[in-house]
Amino acid sequence: MSWLVSPKGKRYTVAQMRWVTNHEEPLVRTVAVSRIYRRGVDEIRALDRVSLEIPAGHFVAFMGPSGSGKSTLMNLLAGLDRPSSGEVWVAGQRLDILDEDELAAWRARHVGLIFQFFNLIPVLSARDNVALPLLLTHLDKRERSRRADIALRIVGLQDRASHYPRALSGGEQQRVAIARALVTDPDLIVADEPTGDLDARNAETILSLLRRLRSDFGKTIIMVTHDPRALRFVDMAFHLDKGTLLEGEEAARAHEAIVVAASGGVVGHVLP
């Protein structure tokens, strides 16, 4: 296990981390997961025997340099990719044994996706963008619109439901994307660099909103991010490098470097 990081920057030892995960039912569990890509004769090991647990109702960050494997790991947990070896368990389902149709059906029921560049459909209103995942259900149009309006109310955009993406700011578009991820009431929300295309103020707003989804609605959220501000909002931060999950002193050094970056080079009292 890596370090457990509280929103105030408190960190726990590996032994304490195991106590926490042993006393809370994990929603997510991987067992010796590896992901290998082949390009011609070259073999690229994107993940190397990664084992972790994430308790239900936690807001988690995967952090690390580009190419560290954090997005690959997120994609495996979201059912967007398959491991080359190892086991992936989410919400009681082992994903690596499902076929493509089973995996797509599972993903539609259990996962909400948030992307860096919003991925909104320009010719659809905010309400219709949010309702898109519900097209895979048996709900009628009226019920889909009602649930989309509820999701928009949660993210504070109920008065923008009829607006098209071009009429929304970047921060508003990302909130619409969050509402879309939330509308199916998924077990797991995964966010790929959700603040990467936003200014500082909107980034803080989005991180606060994700935190509220965890605290007020009990959602489990996994976020891939380079943003050091994330450490103030998440419950746990897993650090990866070259496909490996860092532990112990290596994880502590990676965490310290991010804290220093966030504080402009002054550590201060962020870490006790």
pLDDT values of the chain reduced to their tens digit, one per residue, 272 residues? 344 443 334 444 444 444 444 446 799 999 999 999 988 888 889 999 999 999 999 999 999 988 999 999 999 999 999 999 999 999 999 999 999 999 999 999 999 999 988 899 999 999 999 999 999 888 999 999 999 999 999 999 999 999 999 999 999 999 999 999 999 999 999 999 999 889 999 999 999 999 999 999 999 999 999 888 888 899 989 999 999 999 888 888 887 877 776 666 443 333 22
What is the Cα–Cα distance from 76 to 182, expressed in whole angstroms?
Answer: 20
Main-chain dihedrals φ then ψ at residue 229, nearest 5 degrees: -65, -20
SS3 letters across the chain? CCCCECCCCCECCHHHHHHHHHCCCEEEEEEEEEEEEEECCEEEEEEEEEEEEEECCCEEEEECCCCCCHHHHHHHHCCCCCCCEEEEEECCEEHHHCCHHHHHHHHHHHEEEECCCCCCCCCCCHHHHHHHHHHHCCCCHHHHHHHHHHHHHHCCCHHHCCCCHHHCCHHHHHHHHHHHHHCCCCCEEEEECCCCCCCHHHHHHHHHHHHHHHHHHCCEEEEECCCHHHHHCCCEEEEEECCEECCHHHHHHHHHHHHHHHCCCCCCCCCC
Can you give the pTM of this predicted structure? 0.84
CATH code of the domain occupying 14-23+54-80+99-262? 3.40.50.300
